[in-house]
Amino acid sequence: MSIYSSEFLQRLTDITGNNGVIEDPSRGPGPIVRPRSTEEVSEIMKVCTEHKVPVVTFGGNTGLVQGTRRNGDELGLSMERMAAIEGIDVAGRTMTVQAGAVLQRVQETAEESGFLYPLDLGGRGTATIGGNISTNAGGNRVIRYGMTRDQILALEMVLADGTIIPMQGPAIKNNTGYDLKHLAIGGEGTLGVVTRAILRMRTFPVSQACAWVAVNDFDSLTKLLSFIDRESSGTLSSFEVMWSDYYEAMTGDSTPYKPPVPHGHPLYVLIELQGGNQERDQVRFEEIMVAAYEQQLVADAAIAQSEGERMAMWDIRDDVNQLFENGFIDVKNLSFYSSDVSMPINDMEDFVKEITAEMPGKESGSHVFVFGHLGDGNLHVNPCAQGPDRPSPKELGEIIYRAVRKRGGSISAEHGIGLKRKEYLDWTRTETEIELMRRIKAVFDPDNLMNPGKIF
């Protein structure tokens, strides 16, 4: 049965009530169903299985790999009416939410109770917990708290046939057979609809110490990471590295950002520590930075003296769109590819050199903007190629993925596969692994109705 048939749409409306089924071309072609509860999701899925209708679940639609794209024959299932924060357990340090809860609201609710929900990323105001779970999102604090996988104590999921897989309890420890939640985490909506979750909260850090540091070579950078990690007694929460091309473009004359330290170094790093006493932690941080300078691990440094200075440093790291808005790049004659790859730290320097060598020369206006979460082995490599002989965006992607494959890395560290990277999945996963993934999908979703065609 077609998703446009009036009988099908009436059945969905009977389940979800007034305004339960809408059309919104800005979110793709075809109807979108908006359930209000797990039971409604289950009823919807039973109808879809009966009529063999494929379903694409989405939260905030902020994913970066076309994971929510629909082709016109697929029903959209939006989690926007399942956004409740159901409760906080202060003693157990957990929060129970519906999957449509927006990340920023979860963070703010945790903070109101004196807790930190540590996952943080640029799309926080729109991205949902269900989307974070389904992409196993990472972000800026992975080095200390881990990825979304490390924040999820339990989750509830509805399968294609309407079966509700209930949540296990919130205990961190639960070794009773296969832990099925880990298949849903990073599953990109291909195994079922995640409907609720129990999140792990941490102590809210009351102090933040932040510095912008220039480093003379890659060897010093890796030594600096080990040094700061050791000296800061487990409070290191961010170690965000930027190659000079990115830093100099972001803090050049045509941008609103002032360089915290002068240009002219090959590498820069934003370091942040989060702890329990602002005055004491700031003093300790300054001591650590002086010691790093004396050991020649640091060439220059600016330590944020106020919340405003700290935020300004983060803007330089986060506001990537500046590169395309400030005229630094000629967007009309551009081949661009954004990637998020991972590999052993020791391979990164050589990797960036190899990509740069395959690009048109600097005289053409080409750049390779590289930044990333060094401690997590994760780099965002964004080549901008210009000039008449520039590689196409697809060729740029393949230059990157070839170099990743050679080093035993992964073509996606954070954002997932979706449609965008599907044709490259077997560049860093074996046929045996992919076949096993297909068989697992068939167990959960034998009719291939859940986000079909995504990942593989």
Ligand X SMILES: Cc1cc2nc3c(=O)[nH]c(=O)nc-3n(C[C@H](O)[C@H](O)[C@H](O)COP(=O)(O)OP(=O)(O)OC[C@H]3O[C@@H](n4cnc5c(N)ncnc54)[C@H](O)[C@@H]3O)c2cc1C
Binding to ligand X (CB under 6 A): which residues in 383-442?
414-415, 418
Q: Are 202 and 187 in contact (CB under 8 A)?
A: no
Least distance from C-beta 99 to ligand X, angstroms? 4
For ligand X, which stretch binds (CB under 6 A), given 4-12, 55-63, 224-232, 431-439? 55-63
User: Could you say which of 45, 137, 289, 329 contacts ligand X (CB under 6 A)?
Assistant: 137
Q: What angle do CA 367, 368, 369 make, to 5 degrees?
A: 110
User: Could you say which of 9, 64, 180, 437 contacts ligand X (CB under 6 A)?
Assistant: 64
Contact call for residue 155 and ligand X (CB under 6 A)? no
Residue type at 211 in one-letter notation: A
DSSP annotation string for 145-166: H--GGGTEEEEEEE-TTS-EE-
SS3 303: strand
Contact call for residue 57 and ligand X (CB under 6 A)? yes
Burial of residue 107 (CB within 10 Å: 0-12, 13-18, 19+) is: middle
**By C-beta, is 20 or 189 nearer to ligand X?**
189
Alpha-carbon span 401 to 319, nearest angstrom: 25
**By C-beta, is 42 or 68 nearer to ligand X?**
68
Q: Where are the beta strands (DSSP E) in 166-235?
A: 193-200, 202-203, 207-215
Contact call for residue 322 and ligand X (CB under 6 A)? no
Least distance from C-beta 283 to ligand X, angstroms? 31
SS3 307: helix
Residues 74-93, one symbol each (x = binds ligand X by CB under 6 A, - = not), give -----x--------------
Least distance from C-beta 82 to ligand X, angstroms? 8
For ligand X, which stretch binds (CB under 6 A), given 51-59, 280-288, 298-306, 330-338? 51-59
DSSP annotation string for 419-450: TTTGGGHHHHS-HHHHHHHHHHHHHH-TT--B
Contact call for residue 62 and ligand X (CB under 6 A)? yes
Q: Are 453 and 425 in contact (CB under 8 A)?
A: no
Least distance from C-beta 273 to ligand X, angstroms? 20
Contact call for residue 67 and ligand X (CB under 6 A)? yes
Contact call for residue 60 and ligand X (CB under 6 A)? yes
Q: Give, for 122, the enclosing helix (H) or strand (E).
A: none
Alpha-carbon span 322 to 250, nearest angstrom: 7
Alpha-carbon span 48 to 73, nearest angstrom: 12
Name the residue number minimizing CB distance to ligand X. Answer: 131
Alpha-carbon span 263 to 38, nearest angstrom: 54
**By C-beta, is 122 or 365 nearer to ligand X?**
122
Collect all residues with Cβ–Cβ distance below 8 Å to 107 and sequence separation of at least 6: 116, 117, 119, 120, 124
**What sign for the dihedral angle of Cα 411, 103, 115, 371?**
positive
Q: Are 420 and 358 in contact (CB under 8 A)?
A: no
Contact call for residue 208 and ligand X (CB under 6 A)? no
Strands 75-78 and 31-33: parallel
Contact call for residue 59 and ligand X (CB under 6 A)? yes
Least distance from C-beta 47 to ligand X, angstroms? 18
Q: How many residues bind ligand X (CB under 6 A)?
A: 35
Residues 95-134, one symbol each (x = binds ligand X by CB under 6 A, - = not), give ----x---------------------xxx---xx-xxx-x
User: Could you say which of 38, 42, 49, 61 contacts ligand X (CB under 6 A)?
Assistant: 61
Collect all residues with Cβ–Cβ distance below 8 Å to 126 and sequence separation of at least 6: 60, 61, 62, 102
Least distance from C-beta 251 to ligand X, angstroms? 20
Least distance from C-beta 364 to ligand X, angstroms? 28
**By C-beta, is 132 or 235 nearer to ligand X?**
132
Alpha-carbon span 324 to 443, nearest angstrom: 45
Contact call for residue 58 and ligand X (CB under 6 A)? yes
Token digits of residue 278: 């602002």
Least distance from C-beta 397 to ligand X, angstroms? 18
Contact call for residue 138 and ligand X (CB under 6 A)? yes
Contact call for residue 160 and ligand X (CB under 6 A)? no
Contact call for residue 30 and ligand X (CB under 6 A)? no
For ligand X, which stretch binds (CB under 6 A), given 61-69, 303-311, 355-363, 438-446? 61-69
Contact call for residue 139 and ligand X (CB under 6 A)? yes
Q: Are 336 and 382 in contact (CB under 8 A)?
A: yes
Alpha-carbon span 273 to 277, nearest angstrom: 11
**By C-beta, is 101 or 298 nearer to ligand X?**
101
Residues 169-198, one symbol each (x = binds ligand X by CB under 6 A, - = not), give -------------------xx---xx----
**What sign for the dihedral angle of Cα 151, 154, 156, 160?**
positive
Contact residues: ligand X, CB under 6 A: 56-64, 67-68, 79, 99, 121-123, 127-128, 130-132, 134-135, 137-139, 188-189, 193-194, 414-415, 418, 451, 454
